[in-house]
A and B are shown apart, each in its own frame.
Chain A
Amino acid sequence: MITVEEKLKLFTKLVYDKIEKENQTEIDKYNSEYGNIIDEKKKEFEKQAEKMDSEKMKEIDKKKNQIISRAKVEEQKLLLQKKKEIFDEAVEEIKNYSKEFTNSEDYKELFLKSLKESMEDLKESKNISFYVIENDRDKFKKTIAEMYPDTNFKIDVDDNLIGGFTVQDEDNNIKIDMSLMSKIESSKEVIGEKLYSMLH
């Protein structure tokens, strides 16, 4: 005979089994739902981490390039400045050498040759102005007067010329520059080329 206790025990088991089964279904359902969400979130975060990682790498690369670039630009600037300094020094040396050259006999020869050349072009002119350096005024005044007795001329001083002269036809507004300064200025290209080819 089945006792009340046994019946209760049986029912209890049945109820427990049923509830356990239902719970298990619920648990499985939640597991699958939230498990998926967790997986999705995990993937999403991994993607975000990768993206952040690559963005950071790009940022680092950018910064790296900026630093390298600045250094390279600075290096080039220094190199160019040094070359320019050397060039300016060389031109200054040539000017100094030219000043010394004005005391030589060769200079006198050059002066007179240039004078003949330029006066050939101004032979029609009657009023002429010469600009020479202080040293040359007395040195060449007499020579010029002897060479061109029919021409009215005056001689002024311009020490910026370094040497040589400029001659101006006052009637026709024409000037011819035979100064050493203008020769140096127009030779800067050649000086630069020779100097830079030695520096390379």
Chain B
Amino acid sequence: MLMKGDNMIKEYTQLDKIEGPLIILSGVENVSYDEIVEIRTKSGVKHGKVVQLYKDKAIVQVFEPTSGLSVKDVSVKFTGNPLTISLSKDILGRVFNGIGEPIDGGGNVFGGVKRDVNGRPMNPVAREYPRNFIQTGISAIDCLTTLIRGQKLPVFSGNGLPHNELAAQIVKQAKISDEENGEFAIVFAAMGLKHDDAQFFLKSFEESGVLQRVVMFLNLADDPVVERIITPRCALTAAEYLAFEENMHILVIMTDMTSYCEALREISSAKEEVPGRKGYPGYLYSDLASLYERAGMMKTSKGSITQIPILTMPNDDITNPIPDLTGYITEGQIVLSRDIYQRNVYPPINILPSLSRLAKDGIGEGYTREDHPGLANQIFAAYSKVQEVKALSQVIGEDELSDIDKKYLQFGKAFEYEFLNQSFDENRSMEETLDLGWKVLSILPESELDRIDSKLIEKYYRRG
């Protein structure tokens, strides 16, 4: 019997059926699940992977469109290997498509290692607890929802909100402590991205001088949906290689996870699987977990993988299955608000539902600055009070508010327009952010600051 991997590989020249992105063929031998398939047609070679096996039948998911494909005049070859990508440090600065093929005209990556894009599950015992922070240069994130190395912190956005700008700004500005900054890189995975958005990302990375430390995986809106399912896996495989074999600190930005989930729904429906909530497959949770859980730090390596998945909530509904299930797996979230955006504030981060669950372990003395935890707590509390005062002022009118309530309103405005608001090119250091936090907080009387140590108030509060 012939084995794959020998010089001779059998090809099958007839399909039973073509159904959407799936092809079905029978009489196959020695085929395994997840194996990559080459489909030769008169118009060129397409790729796919085995998604289901039953007796001598195989169902193959084709990565490219199946339109124009005939059940005859094809030749299907099972390669014997799962989808692998070639990796070396040379991938930095390169642009790949959704299945890891170079699209920047620079040719293939040779001389590295080959890794299966499905990854290997991280041994829970080998995991290291995330510590220390990544500076994004964006005050609302750095001060209030601090990103910790090894964390997975999603951005919940909505259609038309500036999440792409936010993602580009994070890529441009993100840094870790100066002594380790040379070992910091970004893996950027885009799923279902429009051509103009792809150009925007490429241009802004080129202009800001960060392209050299970014690896891009681009699946465009008109690329096949099946490819979209592979894109984050390719990106995370590249991130794992750089983090755990090259000891680098890697920030993975994945946008838009909603496009990914919709592709999953489309494929699931084509496979005639039983649909779950809103038509998404029942395994959406475990599928998302198989991506998000690839973030973290390992005891055996100096590197780390930090994830910022970006998702757009359909109808701004946070109870939609995608943000809902994402929230179960990740360690907090950054929520963008349409209300704040309409007040012309960028980035429109609503800090009240936003949270970084690991922030407490990577801020304060030894990491950022001694006053950081207290300051962040106090800003949260004060901004929450602002919402109550705003509601009250809508009932009784602003003039009828007490002096202290008027101070809160003043604080609210200053917080949104001075602290939250910053330009796309403005990169604030942690020191600047914390000082700005004290500036806006000092609008309130000292007696209102009940969540900060008195010694710190003495040191940082601005009187007069």
Query: Which one, A68, A81, A117, A174, contacts B209 given CB within 8 A?
Result: A68
Q: Is the CB of B8 within 8 A of A178?
A: yes
Q: Is the CB of A69 within 8 A of B209?
A: yes
Determine whether A99 belongs to the interface, using a CB cutoff of 8 Å to chain B.
Answer: no
B107 contacts across to A, CB distance below 8 A: 80-81, 83-84, 87
Q: Is the CB of B206 within 8 A of A174?
A: no
Q: Is the CB of B13 within 8 A of A173?
A: yes
Query: Which one, B10, B105, B211, contacts A84 given CB within 8 A?
Result: B105
Q: With both chains docked as a complex, state the minimum distance between the C-beta of A77 and any C-beta of chain B, in angstroms.
A: 7
Query: Which one, B75, B106, B212, contacts A69 given CB within 8 A?
Result: B212
Query: Which one, A65, A70, A121, A168, contacts B13 given CB within 8 A?
Result: A168
Q: How many residues of A contact B (CB 8 A)?
A: 36
Q: Is the CB of B8 within 8 A of A118?
A: yes
A192 contacts across to B, CB distance below 8 A: 108, 110-111
Among B77, B111, B425, find the residue whose CB has the most chain A CB atoms closer than 10 A.
B111
Query: Which one, A70, A168, A173, A196, contacts B206 given CB within 8 A?
Result: A70
Q: Looking across the interface, which residue of chain A has its beta carbon closest to that of B14?
A: A173
Q: Is the CB of A77 within 8 A of B110?
A: no
B105 contacts across to A, CB distance below 8 A: 77, 80-81, 84
Docked pose: A70 CA to B203 CA in angstroms: 10
Q: Is the CB of A175 within 8 A of B10?
A: yes
Determine whether A3 belongs to the interface, using a CB cutoff of 8 Å to chain B.
Answer: no
Q: Is the CB of A200 within 8 A of B111?
A: yes
Asked if A73 meets B212 with Cβ closer than 8 Å, knowing A81-B105, A174-B10, A175-B10, the reply is yes
Docked pose: A68 CA to B2 CA in angstroms: 55
Determine whether A189 belongs to the interface, using a CB cutoff of 8 Å to chain B.
Answer: yes
Q: Is the CB of B111 within 8 A of A69?
A: no
How would residues 65 to 107 of chain A score, 1 for a CB under 8 Å from any chain B CB and 0 otherwise? 1101110110011001101100100000000000000000000
Q: Is the CB of B211 within 8 A of A69?
A: yes
How would residues 2 to 17 of chain B score, 1 for a CB under 8 Å from any chain A CB and 0 otherwise? 1000011111111000
Q: With both chains docked as a complex, state the minimum distance between the C-beta of B314 and any C-beta of chain A, in angstroms.
A: 37
A81 contacts across to B, CB distance below 8 A: 105-107
A173 contacts across to B, CB distance below 8 A: 12-14, 27
A117 contacts across to B, CB distance below 8 A: 7-8
Q: Is the CB of A84 within 8 A of B14?
A: no
Asked if A174 meets B208 with Cβ closer than 8 Å, knowing A84-B105, A192-B110, the reply is no
Q: Looking across the interface, which residue of chain A has its beta carbon closest to that of B106?
A: A80
Binding site for A on B (CB under 8 A): 2, 7-14, 27, 75, 77, 86, 93, 104-108, 110-111, 206-212, 425
Q: With A80-B104, A117-B8 given, can you name 12 additional A-B contacts, CB distance below 8 Å?
A: A62-B208, A62-B425, A66-B208, A73-B93, A83-B106, A84-B105, A84-B106, A84-B107, A174-B11, A175-B12, A183-B7, A195-B110
The 7 A-B pairs at the shortest CB distance, nearest first, are namely A80-B106, A69-B209, A84-B107, A192-B110, A173-B14, A65-B209, A175-B11
